[in-house]
Amino acid sequence: MRFFKKKGETSTIRMVKNDAGDRDYGLVGTVADLLAAKVFDFCECEKPKEQVWAFVPVDKINMVCFTDTRAEACFALED
């Protein structure tokens, strides 16, 4: 899998695609950055939002994964 960012992007948010770059899987980033980018309207966490990573799949918005690291958030995508 590969991670892409918009030009000039300084947040942790990345688009997640397959190795060829032709299939979108979703977005990954810290909860704090996803809230700032208005991907989430609200999110309650026990840990600071800057320390919690979330993966938001393209096809199943209700299946968001919250973890401690970016790698763990994208674990289900690994072949």
pLDDT value at residue 78: 61
Residue 79: pLDDT over 70: no
Using the predicted structure, report yes or no on whether residue 58 has a pLDDT greater than 70: yes
**SS3 sequence, the chain?**
CEEECCCCCCCCCEEEECCCCCCEEEEEEEHHHHHHCCCCCCCCCCCCCCCCEEEEECCCHHHCEEECCHHHHCHHHCC
Average of pLDDT values for 8-22? Answer: 90
pTM score: 0.84
Asked if residue 55 has pLDDT above 60, the reply is yes
Q: Is the pLDDT of residue 73 over 90?
A: no
pLDDT of residue 45: 86
